[in-house]
Amino acid sequence: MLQARFDSASAFMASAKKLKLPSSTKLALYADYKIATEGLCTQPRPSMIEFEKSAKWKAWTETGERYVNELKAAAQVATRDEQEDAARLELPILAMVSYIERVEGGQWGWKFDPTESNAGVTTTGDQDLDELEAYLGTDMDEISAEEMLARPFVPVEGHMEGPATAGISTMAFSTEDDTGYDPLEPAKSGSVEALQSALTNNPELISLKDDMGFTMLHWACDRGSLEKVKLLIETYNVDVNVQDADGQTPLHCASLADWPAVVAYLKSLPSVDQSIKDNSGMTAEECLE
């Protein structure tokens, strides 16, 4: 009967979120509820800056200590061990009684109806099941599964997703040897706009060569960015037949990296000399064989 009254009262409180209760009342209810359902507080003390958690932890811990002392004092038994036992057994009962008194005394509209008692949450006596119920939660405010499915996906942080997460491995990489400024970077990656603004800020970049003799056009051809290739050639008039340290032209680069659209574009330009041979004596066409 006590259990049923307690379940009814706690279910009522869980659904009566609109009540504006002073936090001291809320904390007292919280402490009684936790002791009634979980016993003494065994959780580690939360950090000081977590105000709400700290307050709850304090209320739960201190109320528990107070009850234990009361029960020990009241226990009509001799030894200390027996006192402990009595306190442990009676602790949830004391907390439930206290909780119900608070809910009744608050006059927030709860009245116990004995006919509803079967509907309340009761412990099953099956430890596995009780554990599970604790994980599954009985929060009345939770949105239904159907509604959740209808909503757009929002990642939920910190919820258990099972052992299967973080499974797909991709190539590991490090940035260690790629640090420092690389003036040709905008030709290799990033947007066309970024390349354009880099060239506006520093027009000399169009003829700059790196230690392999690559120009921006070489890199743009190697990376297959038709937009960048066009920008460099049509807006900045870069040398289309420039050769790198191995004698390769941008056309060699685009051919070797197999970018058909870039190759076709370069070949369509009268200014591109397709007969240029690299240091191994091969034209862009011959390189592919």
Q: Residue 229 corresponds to which tokens in the numbers above? A: 């290739």
Nearer to other proteins, 19 or 134 (CB): 134
Closer CB to other proteins, 126 or 273, in the complex = 126
Q: CB-wise, 92 or 186, nearer to other proteins?
A: 186
Q: How far is the CB of 186 from other proteins (least distance, A)?
A: 10
Which of these, 100, 101, 102, 75, lies nearest to 87 by C-alpha position?
75
Q: How far is the CB of 252 from other proteins (least distance, A)?
A: 8
Q: How far apart are CA 150 and CA 115, in angstroms?
A: 36
In the complex, the smallest distance separating the C-beta of residue 20 from other proteins, rounded to whole angstroms, is: 27
| Nearest distance from C-beta of residue 144 to other proteins, angstroms | 6
Residue 251's CB: how many other CB atoms inside 10 A? Answer: 25
Long-range contacts of 38-47 (CB under 8 A, 24+ apart): 39/64, 39/88, 39/91, 39/92, 40/64, 40/68, 40/91
What is the DSSP secondary structure assignment for residue 20, as one 8-state letter? -
Other beta carbons within 10 Å of 141: 7
State the minimum distance, in angstroms, from the CB of residue 254 to other proteins.
9
Other Cβ atoms closer than 10 A to 263: 21
Measured in whole angstroms, how far is the alpha carbon of residue 90 from the centre of its chain? 43
Contact 31, 121 (CB under 8 A): no
Of the pair 42, 275, the CB lying nearest other proteins is at 42
Alpha carbon distance 100, 105 (integer Å): 8
70 vs 185 by CB, closer to other proteins: 185
CB half-sphere exposure, 145, CA atoms < 13 A? 0
State the minimum distance, in angstroms, from the CB of residue 52 to other proteins: 15
For other proteins, which is the closer residue by CB, 67 or 219? 219
Which residues of this chain interact with other proteins, rule CB under 8 A? 126, 128-129, 131-132, 134-137, 142, 144-146, 148-149, 151, 153, 155-179, 182, 185, 188-190, 210, 212, 214, 219, 222-224, 253, 256-258
